Amino acid sequence: MPTVSPASFLHGDREVLGVLHDRRAADSAPGARADPHRVALVIGGGGMRGAYVAGMLRALDRAGLVPAFDEVYGASSGGFSGAAFLTGDAAACAASYPEDLCTEVFINMRRLGTRRPVVALDHLVHDVLGDRKPLAWHRLGSTPAPLRLVATDTADLTAHTLEGMATAADWEQALRASAAIPLLSGPPVSYGGRRWVDGSVAEPLAMARALRGGATHVLVLLCRGADDLHPDADAGLSLWARALDRLVPGLGSLAQGSRRYGADLRLVTDAAHPERGPGHLAAIGPARSAGMGALCVDPVRVGDAVRIGDESAEAALDAVAA
């Protein structure tokens, strides 16, 4: 990675990474800690931008930090990546972005307006996670640190943590529900008697949720770097996004990630934020942009995003260790 100040991609309280380093040194695991902390990992969604985060998770896994977390929150692509991270498949998940998802079988805007979804979740669940790079579905629900999936209820567009996943089929359906992009991936997904869409519609990053759940330390992985954030975090949704939300509830909000991520990042950087309390928060973002969007299927750009995410997380860990 070119020489870049950690301040450009490592935000918030470095104590969070310090606790992870200490836990690795102590070889502790969930349920058997010598410290009083509860450390949550929050993984942002973002479609193919999730390649950045997948690279970061690969770096955290390589550093031996999977057992250092007590719980993982994920929505949309972050849910799938979190599942792979907890089941030991972080490297395969990172590789799947350029190798298996950069195809028009998965994303094809020419399908808009037809009966076929623009974003084919069937390809991800069955072809990629079922055959090409199999996910250990049977382990979900019994990993030492639990995976908490966030989805948006279509009834009122509020975010909820999905519950009751007991079988591999349940987990498949819940992950679909958390990643169902309004309009683009087909109709909302039914689970537990409700209809759900992408968790990022209502809650791009589940930091406040993790704090309310008892986390003392939260590490957030961002799929947007400083160059990809809107300069005015208080700008709110644009007129076109609000109009799109009226036509397809949630789609306009989802499309305005650059504005909403900036507002969420304030919870990390502002120690006096009213939703923060005594918690410690840190966030790692990509150190530079690969020049890609949420629906990008260019394997070169997507592969670059994976490498940038990996390098950014590794550099953040090194900066704190130093």
Query: Does the global pTM surpass 0.75?
Result: yes
Q: What is the mean pLDDT of residues 229-243?
A: 55
Give residue 248's pLDDT: 57
Q: What is the mean pLDDT of residues 298-313?
A: 97
Give residue 225's pLDDT: 76
- Positions annotated as catalytic residues are 76, 198
Q: Domains (ranges, CATH) in the chain?
A: 10-25+37-319 (3.40.1090.10)
Band (pLDDT 50/70/90 cuts) for residue 244 is low
pLDDT beyond 70 at 238: no
Report helix, strand or coil for 76.
Answer: coil
201-205, 226-230, 249-253, 275-279 — most confident range: 201-205
Percent of the chain with pLDDT over 90: 70
- Hey, what are 125's tokens? 């669940």
Phi, psi of 108 (to 5 degrees): -150, 105
Q: Provide the residue count of the chain.
A: 322
Q: What is the mean pLDDT of residues 255-273?
A: 68
pLDDT beyond 80 at 254: no
Distances (CA, A) of 44 to 37, 135, 208, 264, 276: 22, 20, 13, 11, 18
Give residue 201's pLDDT: 86
What DSSP line would sit under 105-118, residue for residue?
Answer: TTB-GGGTTSSS-S
pLDDT beyond 70 at 194: yes
CA 287 – CA 284 distance, rounded (Å): 9
Q: What is the mean pLDDT of residues 240-255?
A: 57
Mean pLDDT of the chain: 88
Q: What is the mean pLDDT of residues 93-122?
A: 95
Helical (H) or strand (E) element with 71: strand 71-74
pLDDT beyond 80 at 130: yes
Give residue 215's pLDDT: 96
Give residue 44's pLDDT: 83
Instruction: Check: CB of residue 200 under 8 Å from CB of residue 76.
Output: yes
pLDDT beyond 60 at 188: yes
Q: Residue 188, Cβ neighbours under 10 Å: how many? A: 21
